[in-house]
Chain A
Amino acid sequence: MATVEERVKAVTARVLKLDPEEIKPEHSFTVDLGAESVQSVELVAMFEEEFGIEMDEDAALSVETVGKAVEFIADVCKQQGVEVEQ
């Protein structure tokens, strides 16, 4: 099974039309990866679908970087009893 980081990168790449290899944990979704506000909403929606979780919109949308998203999603998965590969 792919790790949380690999899955976050794959979703990000699909939504933002990027090569997953180019996405780094330190990248900001908006500044480095060019996510517009509407795409941020789509990213949150697709992360929820990918991991089968429910995220608080305000908290999820305040996450700025890919690495922080990985931590945030792993934490939500743990809280909601969803098993993931670290």
Chain B
Amino acid sequence: MRLILVDSPDEVRGNFYPLALSRPLWELRCGFSSLGEKLTARIGAGSVAYFVPDYMAASYRAKAEGPVNDVSVLKGDDLLIVDPRIKADGFNVPAGGPSEVGLDEQGNVLYARVAEADLAKLAKDDIGQFIESAKAKLPNVTTALPTWKYIWDLILANSDQIKADFATAGRNGVEGVVEEPSAVRGDKKDVYIAPGAKVHPMVVIDAEHGPIYIDEGVEVHPFSRIEGPCYIGKDSILLGAKCREGNSIGPVCRVGGEVEESIIHGYSNKYHDGFLGHAYVGEWVNLGALTTNSDLKNDYSCVEVMLDGRRSINTGSTKVGSLIGDHVKTSIGTLLNTGSYLGAMAIIMAMGKPLPKFIPSFAWFLEGVVTKGFGKGKLYETAKTAMGRRGCRWTDDKQDMWDAVFEMTAPMRDKAIKKGRREMLSR
């Protein structure tokens, strides 16, 4: 059986921006791993293929371990096509069996199990047609499979997901180095320190309320306190961090200050003091010293987020911090309002008061307004430098993908720049 992950249409992907601007939905993380890794493990597929938006296909091909946007995978095997928004823990559809198309209550296809014998009936020119013909020609069932609706769902589920992933991993004990004196609170069975990880002296590992998994090559510097549930990804460094419960960090991150219930993708830095709570942070982000986000409103009402710069969405939660896209850089002293959105590649120069809640991708926020700043080329140069420092390459395919993101996000950025111009002129 071949598993095929098919990314959602743009109107659905928008619910997972700014992170999904530069990655398919299954590359979003929750707990120890990505949604795709969880689905793949749950389903136990022999091979996996991927269909992503065209603009990111070439870039994703360099990372993916299976074929990307290759319609030849639509033959020669039983297929299980899955919407990556399905929560892996709730996916209870047998991988084998007669052909069947699972629909949500609105009639959208959540999965399609297609027996090899039925493949001849279906259109194979592109994945969209294939799924539509499967829906039209194969038996349909309505299903109530749980799905991720918005990006903050991942933040809010992270603590429980870490607990579940720790149980699934089935590891505990110290295989790395813990230098004395250090303190482990709670049950030591709820702590795993992987080979190559180093916990320096004067570190508190508090597993009283949840498990802690410190992955290979992690370094935890003195005066850090790690509260479970928590996952620290490979080769990350905690620098005297107050690492509160519910964090998934890394790989290859540098984290200091206070971090709570947040997901930080790889290669991002929050080196210094400052609070990050209920936030979702992309790759290659640098948060300057004292960058702080609010994750709770003063009146304890539900947090609203603008994902498209126009319409506020009530998250239904009193705790949502910031959504921070890939390659964002914030200056020292940046203050982020509750439920802020920082678009990918945005540059933020603090102005002493909380930023507007929506900063478009590729925006240069300077002197209190969104500007064109030093342009896209300078952002690419910076990205190239940041990646080079960690031994990673900025490729032509990546640049093409970001060029497409630049065009996609131009309307909201242009609108914000015009507003900024009006403010500049009125000064």
Contact = CB atoms under 8 A, between A and B. Distances in A.
A41 B421 contact: no
A49 interface: yes
A57 B421 contact: no
B425 A41 contact: no
A46 interface: yes
Contacts of B371: 41-42, 45
Contacts of A82: none
B54 interface: no
B372 interface: yes
Given A57-B372, A58-B377, A42 B349 contact: no
Nearest to B349: A38
Given A41-B364, A41-B366, A61 B374 contact: yes
A45 B378 contact: no
B378 A49 contact: no
Interface string B336-352: 00000000000001000
Contacts of A8: none
A13 to B, nearest CB: 14
Given A41-B374, A57-B377, A61-B374, A49 B366 contact: no
A44 interface: yes
Interface in A38-53: 38, 41-42, 44-46, 48-49
Nearest to B364: A41
A42 B374 contact: no
Nearest to B367: A38
A41 B378 contact: no
Contacts of B364: 41
Give the interface size bracket for B toward A.
10 to 19
A71 B424 CA distance: 24
Contacts of B76: none
Given A49-B421, A49-B425, A58-B377, A41 B349 contact: no
Contacts of A38: 349, 366-367
Most buried by A among B366, B371, B374, B377: B374
A56 B372 CA distance: 10
B411 interface: no
B375 interface: yes
14 contacts: A38-B349, A38-B367, A41-B366, A42-B371, A42-B424, A45-B417, A46-B424, A49-B421, A49-B424, A56-B375, A57-B372, A57-B375, A57-B377, A58-B377
Interface of B: 349, 364, 366-367, 371-378, 417, 420-421, 424-425
Contacts of A37: 374
Secondary structure at the A interface, as helix, strand, loop or mixed, is helix
A43 B190 CA distance: 58
Contacts of A42: 366-367, 371, 424
Contacts of B367: 38, 42
B377 A45 contact: no
Nearest to A61: B374
A48 B378 CA distance: 20
A38 B367 CA distance: 8
A57 B378 CA distance: 9
B406 to A, nearest CB: 13
A58 B378 contact: yes
Contacts of B366: 38, 41-42
A46 to B, nearest CB: 7
Given A38-B349, A38-B366, A38-B367, A45 B374 contact: no
A44 B372 CA distance: 9
A58 B84 CA distance: 40
Contacts of B376: 57
B384 to A, nearest CB: 15
